[in-house]
Amino acid sequence: MASLKVRICCLLAYATFLSQMISCQSLPKEHVALFILGDSLFDPGNNNYINTTNDYRANFWPYGRTFFGYPTGRFSDGRLIQDFIAEYAGLPLIPAFLQPGNHKFMYGVNFASGGAGALVETHQGLVIDLKTQVIYFKKVEKSLRQEVGDAEAKRLLSRAVYLISIGANEYLSRNSSISDEGYVAMVMGNMTLAVKEIYKIGGRKFGFPGMAPLGCSPFLRSQAGGNGSCFEEVNKISQLHQRELPKTLQKLEKQLPGFKYSVYNFYKTISERLNNPSKYGFKDATTACCGSGVYRGTYSCGGKRGIKEYELCENSSENFYFDSYHPSEKAFQQFAEEMWSGGSDVISPYNIKQLFEA
């Protein structure tokens, strides 16, 4: 009888040990969340759920044609930079904040809105401006506190990486009565306010893609006389933004203990591809895959923006640009790879992988 009891105790102890081992193995792997704010560079489809026009939406064919096979609201033929970053970090696709469903937010969430700016006035009433995106982030923080408790929420938010892309829409629709320097200062000022608000809530690690040479988009090339030249006036302010962004972040680093940042030289890396497309596997870096008119620079991709007729190339990966403004998935993947693990010649003082590991 005693020996039977001993056997039962041993079996129970072994069963408990096994269940503990299994539960340990099934615990989620330690991860760093990814929060995303900004404009169409990062919008995964938030604008699908707001009252806006098709100028600020991409939820119709042929957007999404290559990877998803259907339009998600991303302004490209497939994935965007943050989708690849999430993959490299071992995270799932980060959902749009406004996407219906029960978001747990443990892996992060995406607030970006196509057409959004750092200034509330930029496309006001048609997009989710940066200030409103930060208000949404505060709602997520509250939800996380309720879900996992104050201490765990604080830990998650302080370890998370925050990607922010902002400014392009200001420079594409700017008020010419204000100097380039004044306009960039306004964008930097509002972006700084947003970063400080996120920092107050716990954010410490921030990544910025910098600014593209906007004047070389098919849309602006077509406005520059149709001779293949870029619109240099717009490129001038784009370059100024790219120069001023690191200076602004260096100031924040001095003011905010524990603040870490990463700036990708988007102006340089896009220019390299536009000047030497074949080196990066593109056949055409001047003409969009989807659109109409000179360089397919008329923003008609999908036929739902006032012009029904549009042209569509056969293979999106041969073109650097997918539509009149936005790069193709192939280009976005190249940027994501450089942002993730590139050297100081393209991204500094940290790359995004280093931010995740910090």
Residue 226 has a pLDDT of 66
Q: Is 208 helix (H, G, I), strand (E, B) or coil?
A: strand
Count of CB atoms situated within 10 Å of the CB of 39: 28
Pick the catalytic residue from 40, 113, 300, 328: 40
- CA dist 133 and 163 (Å) reads 13
Pick the catalytic residue from 83, 292, 324, 326: 326
- CA dist 36 and 133 (Å) reads 9
- CA dist 319 and 1 (Å) reads 80
- Enumerate the domain spans of the chain: 30-216+232-276+328-357
What are the two backbone dihedrals, phi and then psi, of residue 123, each rounded to the nearest 5 degrees? 50, 40
Exposure string over 182-193, b if 16+ CB within 10 A, otherwise e: ebbebbbebbbe
Inter-helix orientation angle 180-201/130-148, to 10°: 10
Identify which of 62, 49, 66 has the alpha carbon closest to the alpha carbon of residue 331: 66
267 contact partners, CB below 8 Å, separation of at least 6: 210, 211, 212, 213, 238, 239, 242
Per-residue confidence of the chain (358 residues) as pLDDT tens digits?
Answer: 444 443 434 443 333 333 333 333 333 457 899 999 999 999 999 999 999 999 999 999 999 999 999 999 999 999 999 999 999 999 999 999 999 987 789 999 999 999 999 999 999 999 999 999 999 999 999 999 999 999 999 999 999 999 999 999 999 998 788 999 999 999 999 999 999 999 999 999 999 999 999 999 999 999 987 688 999 999 999 999 999 999 999 999 999 999 999 999 999 999 999 999 999 999 999 999 999 999 999 999 999 999 999 999 999 999 999 999 999 999 999 999 999 999 999 999 999 999 999 9
Residue 91 has a pLDDT of 96
Count of CB atoms situated within 10 Å of the CB of 79: 22
**Is residue 261 a contact partner of residue 252, using CB atoms and an 8 Å limit?**
yes
Tokens of 314: 């056969």
77 is catalytic: no
Residue 17 has a pLDDT of 37
E strand or H helix at 152, and its extent? helix 150-159
Statement: the pTM of the whole predicted model exceeds 0.85: yes
In words, the CATH class of domain 30-216+232-276+328-357 is: alpha beta
Residue 174 has a pLDDT of 82
**Is residue 144 a contact partner of residue 155, using CB atoms and an 8 Å limit?**
no
103 is catalytic: no
Pick the catalytic residue from 83, 323, 324, 328: 323
